[in-house]
Amino acid sequence: MGMPKNLKVDYNQVQNAKNILMNKLTGRGIPDLIGLDKQYETLYNVLDRTVEHGESNSILVLGPRGSGKTSVSYNICAYEHFRY
């Protein structure tokens, strides 16, 4: 079983597949958040007040290993375009 001879793949499709695979293999992709809506909203609001009003210049995020601290932070920075 090989690749079909009539399969046409363009450069962008190959690059997209390569990026998806590399992100999964290296762990650099932005993970989906499941069940962390409240934590996302809380951290977002603190960052928003910091950026907009200069209320604070530091944040301490606490939680057990694997609870989503880094995932929530990465998602906020990636999707909300905060500069950190």
User: Mind listing the pLDDT tens digit for each residue in 22-62?
Assistant: 877 877 777 778 899 999 999 999 888 888 888 877 889 99
pTM value is 0.59
* Best CA proximity match to 77, nearest among 65, 62, 59, 63: 59
Domain residue extents for the chain: 11-80
**Whole-number Cα distances in Å, 51 to 15, 46, 81, 82:** 35, 9, 11, 8
Q: According to the per-residue pLDDT averaged within each range, which of 2-11, 43-52, 60-69 is highest?
A: 60-69
